[in-house]
Amino acid sequence: HTVRYNSSGTLPKEIKIEGKSYQTDEWMNTPSSILSAIPRRLHLQPDHPLTITRKLIESRFPGYKTHNDLFPIVTTGQNFDSLGFPLDHIGRSRTDTYYLNKETVLRTHTSAHQADTFRNNETEGYLISADVYRRDAIDRSHYPIFHQMEGARTWDRQQAEKEGKTLAQVIWDDVARIPKHDVAVEDPNPTFHAERNPLQATHSPEEVEAIAAHLKRSLEDMVVTIFNAAKGATDTGPASDNEPLKVRWVEAYFPFTSPSWEVEVFWQGDWLEVLGCGIVSQPILNNASVPNRVGWAFGIGLERIAMLLYSIPDIRLFWSKDTRFLSQFSEQKPIRRFVPFSKYPACFKDVSFWLRSSSSAAGGAAPIHPPATPAAPTKQSPTSTQTQCPDAPLDHASVAANSASLPPSTAAMPEAAGPAANTSPIPPAAPAPIPPSSSSFHENDVMEIAREVCGDLVEDVRLTDEFVHPKTGRRSMCYRINYRSLERTLTNEETNQLHEQLRALLVERLGVELR
């Protein structure tokens, strides 16, 4: 399974993944650490919390055909084009998506399999659970690999006619079969809205009302039952704060559904997005040779649900092989709140650097040669020698208090921190596809290098300072790296070594100048 890199650490021309060969090109940006995680398939490991979560959700969709071992390497056609992603969509960029070559990516979502699964036309409903890959931030709720479950349900218009019914009638009959629940779910928006959340031209309002009712009832049933299961099984489940479960629907946007919605669950004082869904874009079904079918689809984050169910505090834990983690979960036993084993000390280290001149100022004010002695910056910034090691851990609140230019603090979960990689409703202005040789700086490259050097020994990477030199126009960035193992105390020597490697790789890969 191991992907072999050349001795220089550069990428080989051809890579083999589970017996399949891929030719790489200048689009290749997938590190060996990611490729070697492919065989893990956490959602299939017996007694793994992701497996338990997957099975719990599957149990609420009886009769749906499950696909749990679809291969993670797909074409850009499957991941983007088949779903109607515009050519300039940010999700296609190399800063957001792992490419093997121009036409081949690690799937960024389970929706990559929608078109193929509809084309097979095996059943009316299906569920696809799988590992998905995104270049993203580093913190306790972001990992470059996570797991999603896709679900879809369609109905055949011609079949309805044969039964002498309208499509809407057939669907409402099915809605009546979904179990009822007693949680008051907030749903203030109309099912569709001409500007914000439009109907598709080929769908009647009656049909969409029926499909939306089926979708919403199905997903509410799933969310309510699994959280009640956790609550009933132990009084220390997700609702241990004794708060009643709060769920709400919000309007959303995806290139491949309309109208679209998201489900949010109230958790630790904030609304947390758990899934996206909507009425399937008819061209997807038409292109899949099932033009008479109409229906809904959803995509849910399995880690997100598992973290809620078990109160798992750090997304890296899912990858742990430590029995202190794994032994706490069992498919046979009721859900119990995860008991964290002792938390080991954090070690914060800063790295500050000047960006390459070519990428330092969008306005082109940057000089070609940096001055030998940069003038004093306009404001105080942390230097690369500033560290807070084990005995003096610095928490994020105090960092925030000390740093005037800190970006909005990364909230508990990614959607609150920024636009999801593949579903940004705002198309970027630049023409695409984005050229691979782009010299501009992207934060995800820093994240990637941190992952490559530290693996799971990095808990969090955040920008703590950024400024543009008033005379030279050069841009300086300072990132704070939080080194922490989930399994042991890191030695000073070890973190110093990691940090030195990280600094060297930043220079090598990004051409930055360390400060």
Tell me if 381 sits within 8 A of 465, measured CB to CB: yes
Residue closer to ligand FA5, measured from CB, 110 or 352 = 110
At closest approach, how far in Å is the CB of 131 from ligand FA5?
12
Q: Does 15 bind Mg ion (CB under 5 A)?
A: no
Residue 99 contact partner, candidates Mg ion, ligand FA5, none, CB within 5 to 8 A by sort of partner: none
- Residue 114 or 482 with smaller CB distance to Mg ion: 114
The Cα–Cα gap between 397 and 371 comes to 36
Residues ≥6 apart with Cβ < 8 Å to 257: 277, 278, 279, 280, 281, 296, 297
CA 167 to chain centroid? 35
Instruction: Residue 28: name its binding partner from ligand FA5, Mg ion, none (Cβ under 5 to 8 Å by kind).
Output: none
Which residue's CB is nearer to ligand FA5, number 43 or number 304?
304
303 binds, among Mg ion, ligand FA5, none (CB under 5 to 8 A by kind): ligand FA5
Tell me which residue of 449, 447, 442, 464 sits closest to 388, measured CA to CA: 464
Cis ω for the linkage preceding 259 (within 30 of 0)? yes
- Minimum distance between the CB of residue 260 and Mg ion, rounded to whole angstroms? 10
Among residues 450 and 512, whose Cβ is nearest to ligand FA5? 450
Cβ nearer to Mg ion, comparing 57 with 506: 57
Distance CA 254, CA 480 (A): 33
> Which C-beta is closer to ligand FA5: that of 365 or that of 411?
411
Contacted by 82, from Mg ion, ligand FA5, none: CB < 5 to 8 Å by type: none
Number of residues that bind Mg ion (CB under 5 A): 2
CB of 338 to ligand FA5, least distance (A): 17
Instruction: Determine the Cα–Cα distance for residues 126 and 110; give it in Å rounded to an integer.
Output: 12
Contact partner at residue 298 from Mg ion, ligand FA5, none, CB < 5 to 8 Å by partner kind: ligand FA5
Contact 370, 476 (CB under 8 A): no
CB of 441 to ligand FA5, least distance (A): 21
Q: At residue 181, what are phi and psi to the nearest 5 degrees?
A: -130, 170
Closer CB to ligand FA5, residue 136 or residue 465? 136
Residues that bind ligand FA5 (CB under 6 A): 109, 111, 134, 136, 142, 146, 148, 150, 254, 257, 273-278, 297-301, 303-304, 414, 420, 422-423
At its nearest, how many Å lie between ligand FA5 and the CB of residue 493? 32
3-state DSSP of 274-286 = EEEEEEECHHHHH
Q: Is 269 left (phi over 0), alpha (psi -120 to 50) or beta?
A: left
DSSP summary character for residue 243: P
Q: How far apart are CA 407 and CA 484, in angstroms?
A: 22
299 in Cβ contact with 109 (< 8 Å): yes
Partner from Mg ion, ligand FA5, none binding residue 217, C-beta < 5-8 Å depending on class:
none
Biggest CA pair distance of the chain? 83
Q: Which residue is nearest to Mg ion (CB)?
A: 420
Per the structure block, which two tokens stand in for 269? 């004082």
Of residues 396-435, those binding Mg ion (CB under 5 A): 420
Q: Shortest distance, CB of residue 2 to ligand FA5, whole angstroms?
A: 26
Least Cβ distance, residue 114 to ligand FA5 (angstroms): 7
Between residues 150 and 460, which has the closer beta carbon with respect to ligand FA5? 150
Q: Closer CB to Mg ion, residue 156 or residue 187?
A: 187
CB of 429 to ligand FA5, least distance (A): 21
Q: How far is the CB of 108 from ligand FA5 (least distance, A)?
A: 7
Both tokens of 228, joined, read 């009640």
Q: Which residue minimizes CB distance to ligand FA5?
A: 301
Q: Which two tokens stand for residue 380?
A: 């105080």
Nearest C-alpha neighbor of 296 from the set 345, 258, 332: 258
What residues numbered 270-309 form the site for Mg ion, per CB under 5 A?
Answer: 276
CB atoms within 10 A of CB 301: 25
Positions that interact with Mg ion (CB under 5 A):
276, 420
